[in-house]
Amino acid sequence: MILREGTLPMADCIFCDIVSGKIPARKVFEDDDVVAFRDANPAAPIHILVVPRTHIPTLNDVPEGDPLVCHMADVARKIARDLGIAESGYRFFINVNREGGQVIFHLHAHVVAGYDVGTFFIHTGIAASILWRKLLGLFSRGEG
């Protein structure tokens, strides 16, 4: 149990409302410290959010050495094993503040696996660029 005494749910926080049960969510795991549920707008077939019960706005607000983030990673690993994606692979990340892509200011970690449009375009972009450089190399050698 990592939850600190005196931490109250924040008004107008959607994740505090999910933690308290005011707003429904498709939960996949919960314990004394975190709740994990399916993202409402998944970026991939598997997209889970691991959310501490405590209202902490961002990763920057977690005290140094605090066990909470480690626990969130432990929960993500367990969920990955349960969903059968531990070996095939998944992404585990935390968006921090506006320019880090954070939209909801209650700390949460994403667990994403499966077909992901963003990753697909990054990988095809890299592959196309490698191919293009190889072709250019072949042509320039042919000229000489």
Query: Alpha helices of the chain — where are they, by DSSP H?
Result: 14-20, 68-82, 117-143
Look at the block and give the residue holding tokens 């410290």. 33
Q: In angstroms, what is the minimal distance from the CB of 138 to ligand AMP?
A: 43
Stretch that binds Zn ion, among 34-42, 47-55, 89-97, 112-120 (CB under 5 A): 47-55
Q: In angstroms, what is the minimal distance from the CB of 53 to ligand AMP?
A: 15
Catalytic member of 47, 55, 106, 108 = 108
User: What's the rounded Cα separation, in Å, for the pair 92 and 80?
Assistant: 10
Stretch that binds Zn ion, among 29-37, 48-56, 75-83, 113-121 (CB under 5 A): 48-56
Q: Which is nearer to Zn ion, 18 or 112 (CB)?
A: 18
Binders of Zn ion among residues 7 to 36 (CB under 5 A) are: 10, 13, 15-16
Residue 71 falls in the annotated catalytic set: no
Q: Is residue 102 packed enough to be buried (19+ CB in 10 Å), middle (13-18) or exposed (0-12)?
A: middle
Tokens for 135, please give them.
């072709």
Q: How many residues does the chain have?
A: 144
Tell me which residues are annotated as active site: 108
